[in-house]
Amino acid sequence: MGLFSRKNNYAELMAISLTAEGLYSACVLERENALPELEFLSFYPKAALPWETLLERLVRESPAKRKRRSLLLRTGDYQIIALDTIGVPPEEMKDALRWRIKDMLDFPVDEASFDAIHIPGDVNAGGRNASMLAIVAKSQTIARHQMQFQDTKLPLEIIDIPEMAQRNISARLEPSGRGLAMLSFDESGGLLTVSFGGELYLSRRLDLNLQMVQNTVHSEQATAFERVSLEVQRSLDHFDRQHNYITTAKLLIAPMGAAATQLQEFLSNNMYLPVEVLNLADVLDLSKLPQLQSPDQQQAYFRVIGAAMRLLNGAA
């Protein structure tokens, strides 16, 4: 299995995330003429338990065996490299990509698993400004995860990343013909994305984590908000220059409790874009899991839910 699987001839997927807090999992079902349904959600605290113990519990207490499984990598498990499009036939892409990235890694390219996300560019101008994002992880990291799941008889089908999980949610909220920016935070930091036409066009990491933007000390939170504002504005200004054929409709802030509303107010006063706070009920039927009405709970499960939405509407 490569870094990403492109099989999309099935619709039932369980996304799993192994974080510092514990094991998160989610399943989302597509439905005709209705919002997708959040069918299953679970969290098992890590404490001092080995991952295999938590995975065995997942086997017993969830529909994991009846689903295809995807693993959402943690931020430190991979890196993203922005590249110009490589104009070679598909069968030559892997070798060309290997050659292009070999001097950009801090480990030998022969020890890397990699794939690429293609950014179409301006489809009305023959793909002008087309580019790509190379996703690179150490092969031993991927193999370790595969072995963990194989040992509990839950072989992995897909290896995924948070950027694509966030894209999955953003893509379902895009106004027709316009792009959508989305900003989220977790313990590892901030993530800004822009999607357009269902594709991931921009991905930027922010060196500010959830704790920093939720800081109850007003002066420290204000400093964090100022840094967020500066980083977001710089990134979106650069995006506008690079992709001037895309109009970004608004910025959505992912759920994170009261801090999301506070950050929305701050950014609204400092940005040219409308800024709103996302409620996952806008993209999913949460009726089976009423605890997800809480913004704090939505924040905790945000990325694993996004990963579980990967195959909706045949997304890659």
Question: 254-271, pLDDT tens digit by residue?
Answer: 999 999 999 999 999 999
Residue the block writes with tokens 């991927």: 142
Q: How far apart are CA 43 and CA 205, in angstroms?
A: 25
pTM greater than the 0.85 cutoff: yes
H-run or E-run covering 135: strand 131-138
Quick one: 227 and 188 in the same domain? yes
Instruction: Give the per-residue pLDDT at 4.
Output: 53
As a whole number, mean pLDDT of residues 220-238 equals 97
3-state secondary structure of 177: coil
Instruction: Give the per-residue pLDDT at 9.
Output: 44
Instruction: Give the per-residue pLDDT at 303.
Output: 97
Closest CA to 6 of 81, 96, 65, 68: 68
Quick one: 59 and 153 in the same domain? yes
Instruction: Give the per-residue pLDDT at 123.
Output: 73
C-alpha angle 235/239/242, rounded to 5°? 140
Quick one: 189 and 245 in the same domain? yes
Instruction: Give the per-residue pLDDT at 61.
Output: 96
Q: How are the residues of the chain apportioned to helix, strand and coil, as percentages rounded to the nearest 5? A: 40, 30, 35
Residue 315 pLDDT exceeds 80: no
Mean pLDDT of the chain: 92
Quick one: 117 and 2 in the same domain? no
> 132-172 pLDDT, tens per residue?
999 999 999 999 999 999 999 999 999 999 999 999 999 99
Quick one: 9 and 65 in the same domain? yes
Residue 3 confidence class, pLDDT cut points 50, 70, 90: low
Residue 2 pLDDT exceeds 80: no
Quick one: 60 and 197 in the same domain? no
Q: For residue 33, what are the domain limits?
A: 1-75+137-173+280-316
| Backbone φ and ψ of 244, nearest 5° | -75, -5
CATH number for the domain including 153? 3.30.420.40
Quick one: 83 and 67 in the same domain? no
Residue 5 pLDDT exceeds 80: no
3-state secondary structure of 11: coil
Quick one: 26 and 62 in the same domain? yes
> 45-80 pLDDT, tens per residue?
999 999 999 999 999 999 999 999 999 999 999 999
Number of domains within the chain: 3
As a whole number, mean pLDDT of residues 89-100 equals 91
What is the four-CA torsion angle of 214, 217, 222, 228, rounded to 10 degrees? Answer: -30
Quick one: 57 and 43 in the same domain? yes
Quick one: 26 and 147 in the same domain? yes
Quick one: 114 and 55 in the same domain? no
